[in-house]
A and B are shown apart, each in its own frame.
Chain A
Amino acid sequence: MAQSKVKPKQSPSTAAFEPWNDPNEKPLIQFKGVTKRFGDFTAIDNLTLDIFEREFFALLGPSGCGKTTMMRMLAGFETPTEGQILLSGRDIGDVPPNKRAVNMMFQSYALFPHLSVWDNIAFGLRREKRDKDSIASRVDEMLRLTRLEKFANRKPHQISGGQRQRVALARSLAKAPKLLLLDEPLGALDRKLREETQFELMDIQETTGTTFVIVTHDQEEAMTVASRVAVMDEGKMVQVATPQTIYEAPNSVYVASFIGDVNLIRGTANLRNVATAAPAAPESESETKPEPVTKIETDEDPRKPQPNDYGKWLHDRLLAPILGQRVDEPKALPAPTKAELAAAAELQAPVDVPEGGLTIDWAENTPALIAANGDPEFDGNEVVLALRPEKMGIAKTKPDAPNVMRGKVIDIAYLGNISTYHVELKTGTMVKAQVANTRRVSRRNITWEDEVWVSFSATAGVVLTE
């Protein structure tokens, strides 16, 4: 899924790009308590937000949550009912759209039907009173970028929906504005072209330093291109953070379930008593302690080199008279010393079960779940443990993990590179566990109706309140 993608944003050259954490950095756009009402319907509700220069800012949210309205206010087609919008520190309340260094790609494309593709793209450049040659070369460059060279002379009604979308994109890019607003710019493109265009956009952004605000319904796209993602709901920003933070540490159940797949396990939080952590979970202790010992004793590597028939024959004929009969059984390792055991335990313990955090009682007669990263503030509250399916393991035998849950496989969704197991827990809750398909499907040992164990580490989930 999203994190499997190569993110150039994480490359060392741009890794340090975090102007929102720098108090000295001046934001390019500032929303200050902006409210927009249509009649008595509030489309944007008291929005305060800073967007910085060179950012790639993605707006995510369900249909009708106010994304387009926010863009239209930036472009100058709507005026805020309350509050101010500043561009480079200047209130742009009374600056008309044609005087703003902002270009917008419309959700409906808004291509001029009486002009050819070429003239549509040249439209904004002509208004700048540029000379003919520079307009022509810029338009051709845009056509090349969006692969529309062949369609330059066609009218908008003579090209396909995806091609129209690319014309709209090219037209808004042509003027190389300071701020570019893209309202669902790639929705109509096929996956391959969409991905290529995403990278083109990031390239353009890096070379020109344009600030992008992009609306998308595709979370993967937001994750790929954005420096920060804003999740909106009913005119409010629910969370504004980097894609990683949004995905790994959503601040609410809404964000967790809006972005990607998530398992939500409801329960009551209790402060995890560190001192009694070990005895409080006897079942996990009894499983964990002997495990390493038995593991070492019975560890039989089937791939240990064995002679083949020819080797055996050779041995028997040549070496046996001198060295004696060959012993086929693997040689047992000496039992680990106490010091070795202690060292092994020390190595494992802090990795598997960090101290602190919360335990969550989620079902009767089942051990509480451990969330070592849970906020102690939630002690005693009803909480939701949000778990990404790919952080869940699934096994037929009880695994050695701080959190295990029993269940039955109801459904298996094969998605090519991964499989998602839908597991019904003993309590009736359905959870999803995602496993990479490193083996062929036929070799898979878990199948429908199997009793399985679903497991996850003590820090895999995020504890949220509703």
Chain B
Amino acid sequence: MMRRTFLIALPYIWLLALFLVPFAIVLKISLSDIALARPPYMPQLDLTGGLAAVWDFITQLDFENFVFLTSDDLYWKAYLSSLKIAALSTAITLVVGYPIAYAMARAAKEWRPTLLMLVILPFWTSFLIRVYSWMGILSTEGVLNQFLIGIGAISEPLQILNTQTAVYIGIVYTYLPFMILPIYSALEKLDDSLLEAAEDLGCSRTTAFWLVTLPLSKGGVIAGCFLVFIPTLGEFVIPSLLGGSETLMIGKVLWEEFFSNRDWPVASAVAVILLLILIIPIVLFQRNEQKQREAEG
């Protein structure tokens, strides 16, 4: 009995220690005021002062920073632009990833592990190095431009780096495996005899795809989309390294608030809002997984 309770409690303890406590701290900071101190915010909680000190601390907290976020349209524009970039790159990743997953699932059985390996291979090197190499590829003196000039397709180097395009390229490249893997796993489970049955009942290959393959890989598609959308929304490295001045993403704003402005309370407020925005897709994602499991069970 004790053991069971402990086993059930374990993930909750984990969640408490690594998610809820940090979130509580961030939330607390977002309700504080900026201060020239170390750490750079006020008030500080002093537990040695007893209940009176705690009460004093609580009364000093306010929503000033959240009000501030609405006063400057930089913030909501950044949120909106992040949502747009995340949505669009998710769509592009899906369009690129689905055919790859499909081809992998249709490939001869003995080839599949190799193909799967190739999809996972990029994870073996550091994410940062891969983004830097994209800078090397996309810059005006980069590999891509030199190649295009070399074959005579263009005479002037293209400005790709530090544009929105470079951001999309970077995001799609980075998150493609997260799209391919769940779709592949759904397609691989698909029983070939279902497609034969569809054909037997009068479907062409194309209609069989739309009526059988696609609906049956729906779970994988949804999972893949969330797996790309959620981290992209808060993405910071890719827009700051590949994007230009016009790339406005909330991750970047957050970073600047923390490190350039050293305004921890505002930065925390930005993070809290971001988390609230993310809760919606995360809950939807969980629900999809649940439904998937039930359908299989």
Contact = CB atoms under 8 A, between A and B. Distances in A.
Interface of A: 75-77, 96-98, 102-104, 106, 108, 110-114, 123-124, 127-128, 155, 157, 171, 175
Given A98-B202, A98-B204, A103-B201, A110 B196 contact: yes
Nearest to B195: A110
A110 B194 contact: yes
Interface of B: 191, 193-194, 196-204, 207, 211-212, 215-216, 218, 295-297
A127 B208 CA distance: 11
B191 A98 contact: no
Contacts of B198: 112, 123
B200 A75 contact: yes
Contacts of A123: 198, 201, 211
B203 A127 contact: yes
A128 B200 CA distance: 12
A127 B199 contact: no
B193 A108 contact: yes
Contacts of B218: 114
B203 A112 contact: no
Given A112-B212, A113-B216, A113-B295, A124 B201 contact: yes
A97 B196 contact: yes
Contacts of A175: 201-202
Nearest to A102: B200
Given A127-B207, A157-B295, A112 B197 contact: yes
A108 to B, nearest CB: 6
A2 to B, nearest CB: 32
Given A108-B191, A108-B193, A114 B200 contact: no
A97 B295 contact: no
B197 A110 contact: yes
B104 to A, nearest CB: 22
B215 A127 contact: no
B194 A112 contact: yes
Instruction: Kindly name the residue among A108, A110, A128, A157 whose own CB sees the greatest number of chain B CB atoms within 10 A.
Output: A110
A95 to B, nearest CB: 12
27 contacts: A76-B199, A77-B196, A97-B196, A97-B199, A98-B199, A98-B200, A98-B203, A98-B204, A102-B200, A106-B193, A106-B196, A108-B193, A111-B197, A112-B194, A112-B212, A113-B216, A114-B215, A114-B218, A123-B198, A123-B211, A124-B202, A127-B203, A127-B207, A128-B202, A157-B295, A157-B296, A171-B201
Given A98-B204, A112-B197, 12 more contacts: A97-B196, A103-B200, A103-B201, A104-B197, A104-B200, A110-B194, A110-B196, A112-B198, A114-B216, A124-B201, A127-B203, A175-B202
Given A113-B216, A114-B215, A114-B216, A106 B202 contact: no
Nearest to B202: A127
- Across the A-B interface, the 4 shortest Cβ-Cβ residue pairs: A124-B201, A127-B202, A110-B197, A110-B193
A155 B291 CA distance: 14
B194 A97 contact: no
